[in-house]
Every structure is written in C-alpha cells, then in structure tokens.
Amino acid sequence: MLQRRSLPLILVVEDEPLVRLDITLAMVDAGFSVIEVPDAEQAIELLETRGSIGLVFTDVELAGALSGFDLADEIEARWPHIPVLVTSGRAVPKDELADRFIAKPYDTDAVISQARALAA
C-alpha cells in the first residue's frame, strides 16, 4: 500500500481578512492544515510555542511594527528549517527571497504548488 506523506502545517500571515480566508480555504482544500494570524508579531508568538509549523506564507505589508520581510528575516535567523513564501502587490522581493516570492494578485493554485514543492 502506498503511504501518503503528510503535508506540513502552514502559518498564513495576512492582515486583510478576506484575502487571508481565501488562501486559507484553498490550502485546506489542498490538504494542508493551516493556522492564520493578521500580523508578524502574532506569527512569531506562534512560532515560539508551536514546533509543528512547517511553512509560513506571509504578505509583505502587514499591520503592526514588522513587515513580512522582517518576519522572513526573523524566521531565517531563528528557525532556518522553516521555509517562507512571501507575497505582495507592491513590494519587490529581496534577492534572497526572489525564488520564494509570489506577486499579488496571485493564483491560489500557484501558491499551493509552491507550498507543496517547499514541503517536499
């Protein structure tokens, strides 16, 4: 019998409630487990307490003091084993994030495909 590999728990960080809901539902439909928060500060709190997060999908422009780029830097420094996908409708990615950047408006299938690739 073929054993399916379980997909990682994804942390979605997006301050626009409808955008957050849309991508969360698409990821759940694709078989991922998802936790969602509206800002980087709450994301860091979750990362500090939940060792099961396997991928972070974050917008660049967030409410609060930290941007999605700041969050990606913090994750790289503290949790380098957790991949980060970054999205924005305005910001341009830093060179080190260029291969993990998805421009808004994005195709949810493209986000899911990239999340699966990073989870492999």
Q: What pTM was estimated for this model as a whole? A: 0.91
* pLDDT tens-digit map of 12-43: 999 999 999 999 999 999 999 999 999 999 99
Q: Which contiguous run of DSSP H or E holds residue 111?
A: helix 108-119
Instruction: For strands 84-88 and 9-13, give the pairing.
Output: unpaired
- State in Å, rounded, how far the first CA of the chain is from the last one: 20
At 2 the pLDDT is 43
Q: What angle do CA 119, 79, 112 make, to 5 degrees?
A: 25
Give the DSSP letter string of 66-106: --HHHHHHHHHHH-TTS-EEEEESSPPPPGGGGGGEEESS-
